[in-house]
């Protein structure tokens, strides 16, 4: 199954309040294994970057000044996404910005049935624990030492590793082994029915009985010949 793990960076918290998406990073996975294919793009937000947002992701007005508008890069993004399920951390936030940008440039929005939220998975698997991306990386021993600032592609790559752990970790591959065994067994020839033979009767011959009696007479003071005490 093909899935896309993605993350966005924005100018703030709400598209409805005028914030815009400035970066998106996507990682392709097939059967929960990264294929190496990614999509990464920056977009000009058509507004100033608030200092608080810049402190989180480091994307300044000067850096974004020559970047394309979302409408100019939307076709490449949609081609990469295809119709695959989309995995994100706090996915309603990222979906809100993607769908806001799509609607703004007259494109169809992405159905929420495609949304997979890793926060929901984390809360189910680890109730009461911390569920931030940093906390989950720590829990699963995923190296994030190179993450000094938020970055859409880097965070998507980290999230892809977290997603694998949340959905079974390396044990996912064990299912492939069992499936292959079942397939091989289904093509195995039926066993040949066992041949039922009549039971053999073993009895001593007359000569064998005579030899046995002669042997028994040679035994001195046999136990079975001693009289039992009264």
Q: Label the pairing between strands 33-42 and 21-30.
A: antiparallel
Using CB atoms within 10 A of its CB, is residue 130 exposed (0-12), middle (13-18) or buried (19+)?
exposed
Q: Which of 57, 89, 131, 150 is catalytic?
A: 150
Residue 10's DSSP bridge partners are 21
The Cα–Cα gap between 88 and 61 comes to 26
131 flagged as catalytic:
no
In the β-sheet with 2-10, what is the strand arrangement from edge to edge? 33-42, 21-30, 2-10, 86-88, 115-117
DSSP state, 150? -
Name the residues annotated as catalytic: 150
């Amino acid at each position: 199954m093909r899935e896309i793990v993605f993350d966005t960076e924005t100018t703030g918290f709400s598209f409805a309040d005028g914030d815009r998406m400035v970066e998106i990073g996507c990682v392709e996975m097939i059967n929960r294994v990264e294929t190496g294919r990614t999509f990464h793009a920056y977009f000009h937000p058509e507004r100033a970057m608030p200092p608080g947002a810049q402190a989180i992701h480091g994307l300044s007005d000067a850096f974004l000044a020559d970047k394309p508008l979302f409408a100019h890069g939307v076709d490449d993004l949609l081609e990469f996404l295809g119709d695959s399920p989309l995995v994100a951390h706090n996915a309603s936030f990222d979906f809100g910005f993607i769908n806001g940008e799509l609607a703004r440039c007259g494109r169809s929005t992405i159905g929420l049935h495609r949304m997979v939220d890793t926060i929901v998975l984390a809360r189910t698997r680890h109730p009461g624990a911390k569920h931030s991306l940093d906390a989950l990386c720590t829990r699963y021993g995923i190296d994030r030492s190179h993450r000094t600032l938020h970055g859409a592609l880097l965070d998507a790559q980290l999230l892809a590793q977290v997603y694998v752990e949340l959905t079974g970790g390396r044990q996912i591959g064990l299912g492939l082994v069992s499936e292959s065994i079942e397939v091989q067994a289904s093509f195995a020839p039926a066993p040949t029915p066992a041949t039922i033979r009549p039971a053999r009767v073993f009895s001593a011959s007359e000569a064998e009985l005579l030899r046995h009696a002669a042997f028994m007479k040679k035994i001195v003071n046999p136990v079975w010949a001693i009289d039992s005490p009264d």
